Amino acid sequence: MTENTFFCLSGKRVSLYPFENTELYSSHYLKWMNDKENVKTIGRNDYLLPVSQEKLKEYVQGLDKNKTAFFGIYFSESGISPKEKMQFVGTFKVYDIDFQSRKASFGIMVGERGLWGKGIASEAIQIVSNYCTSTLNCHKLCAGYLETNVGMAKAFKKNGFEVEGILKDHFYDTEKFHNVVLVGKVNK
């Protein structure tokens, strides 16, 4: 497969590149998806350990390309640089892209736990929100996260997303039930 190294969405310290073989076969992605602290809040019990390279490949190849844009999140503390000088730190999925209702949903993972709290998810949401509204012509952006996920709550709030509903006891993680918070942002 030829990789798309030209398309890139950038902010101040964060860039998003199409998620391709470089990202899929990187040791980082496999490590993050086998890190319980990372996957316990993504709402997918089928990703509880262990996750093989083959399963990740099936997942990425199985994404509906007509409705999904999957990105690798790249970060550089000192500011935007060429891709090879930035660090691959996570993934950003824009899914359920609906051109008729002009909406899309976001799923985010900053897999490098040592970099949590540095504003990476917040900046990535800002960049991708701008892309979705200006290029994909989205009227509405949506997301959902476990109620206990403080980082997600703050990152979406900072980007103008509002809570639209709570799904009670909607996810069971093998220990307890969790409420899921649904948030949305309408482009007025």
Ligand X SMILES: CC(C)(COP(=O)(O)OP(=O)(O)OC[C@H]1O[C@@H](n2cnc3c(N)ncnc32)[C@H](O)[C@@H]1OP(=O)(O)O)[C@@H](O)C(=O)NCCC(=O)NCCS
Q: What is the DSSP track for 57-77?
A: HHHHHTS-TTT-EEEEEEE-T
Instruction: Select 85 or 154, whichever has its Cβ closest to ligand X.
Output: 154
3-state helix, strand, coil in the chain (%, to 5): 30, 35, 35
Instruction: Name the residue nearer to ligand X (CB basis): 87 or 188.
Output: 87
**Shortest Cβ 120–ligand X spacing (Å):** 4
Give min distance, CB of 1 to ligand X, in A.
27
Q: Which residues, 6 or more positions from 129, have their beta carbon under 8 angstroms from its beta carbon?
A: 141, 159, 185
Find the shortest distance in angstroms from Cβ 157 to ligand X.
8
- Where does this chain bind ligand X (CB under 6 A)? 38, 41-42, 108-110, 116-122, 145, 149-152, 154-155, 158
Instruction: Tell me which residue has its CB nearest to ligand X.
Output: 151
Q: How far is the CB of 59 from ligand X (least distance, A)?
A: 15
Output 1 or 150, the one with its CB closest to ligand X.
Answer: 150
Residue (17 or 75) nearer to ligand X, CB: 75
What tokens were used for 27? 């040791």
- For the bound state, the minimum distance from the C-beta of residue 135 to ligand X, rounded and expressed in Å, comes to 23
Q: Kindly state the greatest CA–CA separation across the chain.
A: 44
Where residue 40 falls (left for φ over 0; alpha for ψ -120 to 50; beta otherwise) is alpha
Judged by beta carbon, residue 10 or residue 41, the one nearer ligand X is 41
What whole-number distance in Å separates Cα of residue 52 and Cα of residue 35? 12
d(C-alpha 188, C-alpha 172), whole Å = 36
- What whole-number distance in Å separates Cα of residue 3 and Cα of residue 25? 13
